[in-house]
Structure 1
């Protein structure tokens, strides 16, 4: 196994009880690559995050959650894309060489629908250009999904239109540009706050649907609920960064060998969560 020294800032602002970081990116030194080489297993891993505890599978499944819910055969797939230009933060300067491809995981969002209605988006922002700008990546570092300003404004406009009869309340940071509501005025369902579904149309004609559990965030002691997306500005490196909150209770498979991304959509509809992992059931 290979280990390296890291800057102290990498250990800042970690969750309570967390002592370090393991890398699972597209590199020869990631934990996935090292285990694949040393143990002869597939270069593939899956994550299932929740607000309490979660699970990671390295190699192949099966992915089983209690009470004996088999997730493996419920995944749908879309291609994993390679950004040709590294997305390493500028603090790393010239290491690695900026001619390297990105080590992060990108997918191709082709459309967005809210309440079944298409959201008008700029097609050019949804694609990765020759300089590595644009496109969509999956991030466990960003706590919430971050959108290019024009995408953010279009999503907020469509979302608030679909809830035009529900009174809004003052926005709460970090969701200052988006809509917030009294939780009681929306009500709740098994899939979270009772709000319109947000559908991400992906390549291969598959849809990743986000219900209230992943699209909304409860704040102010759960008395207020806000749309859980943030404005990333007019010149972000990546147009859409799907963040941690939107990933919770979704099983996500990163199959590097086959260049494909598998996802379950919310497990709440199966009456289980990512906290209910069971390594003994088959």
Structure 2
């Protein structure tokens, strides 16, 4: 049975309004910056942040640790009995925003007052389940133009998922914070709620990092030297993916271009192959045919620098002795890796700090892994390769800005100083 006409008109009208409840004072938030500290969990190698949300009978906000998922579609958590979140109905604008693919025959078979269910996935274990879309208060620490700190509370959308989905997450984590291209991802909701640009900044490290939202320019807290060093490359888009892909054209090792099948590097219409960025994959993973060429080229370049092979340490496929390897400001002096993007002039250079993993005092291994033949993406750049690089995701222009390694300037994402950095964040 087709949806009643008044429901269709209802959807047509509400689609014109923001998906997050607004308040009259929001125009004053145009220049705020929302800061979320990020820490790296030592054993799982996952990146964690802490949010605060309304709790039943607690008289305040409950702290909740979440795993940061760069490509995840939205925030989900195990709400248990603690959340005061209001269930979102199937017939609401919020459900339509979260499930834009709802079709007419769904409307006829569903009660519009039923709860809105979303497929919710632990993208680390690739286990999924239905979750309830809810709206609840999250508190966000913000800064205004003069650097003063305030706490801003707002209604945000997220899903309450079964406890079983927590398997595989870092100890103590209660869900995942999705930053992907989706109408109810945190960047999208913040942009809508606070009338800010659709953008965010991510700076990871082996210990403490930061995630920032809002309109304030990077130079206001990272300094002009860092913000002006950013190089921009297009973010590729597909209709079926909310992850972040870059336009990788070729790979160089020690300035020598690898002979790779360029079709494997290109993102196709189905969102397959291509090169994407991830915070839930610890080390870069390559499709087997790419890895085989990469492996041989790197081994050859390493041997030319008199590096000594040693037995491999799982999960790595290429390990070397650390003895006699000179240490530089950007890590061990090993063959540099260049990711050549939209032109030969635009490249992302990976030095020893981000290419090598120190597995013991005497052994270091190449932090690039063979992912097999059935990868959905040909290359996934993992967290280790993203650390100590300032990343600016400008979703409005679909561009990614990336800095050279901050270590070149003897800085790190772990020691960036923010006078207004709050002790608590979301």
TM over 0.5: yes
Aligned to 1:96: none
- The answer to whether 1:77 aligns with 2:232 is yes
Of 191, 206, 209, 2:346 maps to 206
Aligned to 2:89: none
Tell me the CA shift for residue 150 of structure 1. Answer: 1.1
- The answer to whether 1:131 aligns with 2:286 is no
Of 386, 391, 412, 1:252 maps to 391
Of 349, 354, 357, 1:217 maps to 357
Aligned to 1:108: 247
- The answer to whether 1:227 aligns with 2:371 is no
Q: Which moved more, 1:207-216 or 1:232-241?
A: 232-241
Distance 1:68 1:124, change over 3 A: closer
Of 308, 318, 323, 1:179 maps to 318
Contact 1:64/1:277, CA 8 A, preserved across alignment: no
Of 167, 173, 177, 1:22 maps to 177
Distance 1:75 1:247, change over 3 A: same
Separation (CA, whole Å) in 2 of partners of 1:203 and 1:155: 20
| CA RMSD of superposed structures (Å) | 2.0
Distance 1:67 1:203, change over 3 A: closer
Tell me the CA shift for residue 186 of structure 1. Answer: 2.2
Separation (CA, whole Å) in 2 of partners of 1:193 and 1:106: 29
Name the larger-Rg structure.
Answer: 2
- The answer to whether 1:277 aligns with 2:416 is yes
Tell me the CA shift for residue 12 of structure 1. Answer: 3.2
Distance 1:11 1:198, change over 3 A: same
Tell me the CA shift for residue 167 of structure 1. Answer: 1.9
Number of aligned positions between the proteins: 262
Between Structure 1 and Structure 2, the one with more strand by share is: 2
Give the 5 Å matches for 1:84-123. Answer: 84=239, 101-123=240-262
Aligned to 2:375: 236
Separation (CA, whole Å) in 1 of partners of 2:164 and 2:363: 33
Tell me the CA shift for residue 68 of structure 1. Answer: 5.6
Separation (CA, whole Å) in 1 of partners of 2:216 and 2:208: 19
Contact 1:217/1:226, CA 8 A, preserved across alignment: yes
Q: Which has the higher contact order (CA 8 A, sep 6+)?
A: 1
Q: Which moved more, 1:121-130 or 1:183-192?
A: 183-192
Structure 2 residue ranges without an equivalent (≥5)? 1-155, 421-426
Tell me the CA shift for residue 184 of structure 1. Answer: 1.5
TM-score by length of 1: 0.87
Separation (CA, whole Å) in 1 of partners of 2:293 and 2:236: 25
Contact 2:231/2:401, CA 8 A, preserved across alignment: yes
Separation (CA, whole Å) in 2 of partners of 1:9 and 1:253: 34
Separation (CA, whole Å) in 2 of partners of 1:67 and 1:145: 27
Q: After superposition, what is the alpha-carbon deviation per residue over 1:199-229, rounded to whole angstroms, capped at 9, x for unaligned?
A: 000115411000000000010x332100000
Aligned to 2:403: 264
Tell me the CA shift for residue 17 of structure 1. Answer: 5.4
Separation (CA, whole Å) in 2 of partners of 1:254 and 1:7: 31
Separation (CA, whole Å) in 2 of partners of 1:65 and 1:48: 15
Separation (CA, whole Å) in 2 of partners of 1:65 and 1:244: 26
TM-score by length of 2: 0.58
Separation (CA, whole Å) in 2 of partners of 1:196 and 1:242: 18
Q: After superposition, what is the alpha-carbon deviation per residue over 1:20-64, rounded to whole angstroms, capped at 9, x for unaligned?
A: 321111000001111100100011001000001000111244336
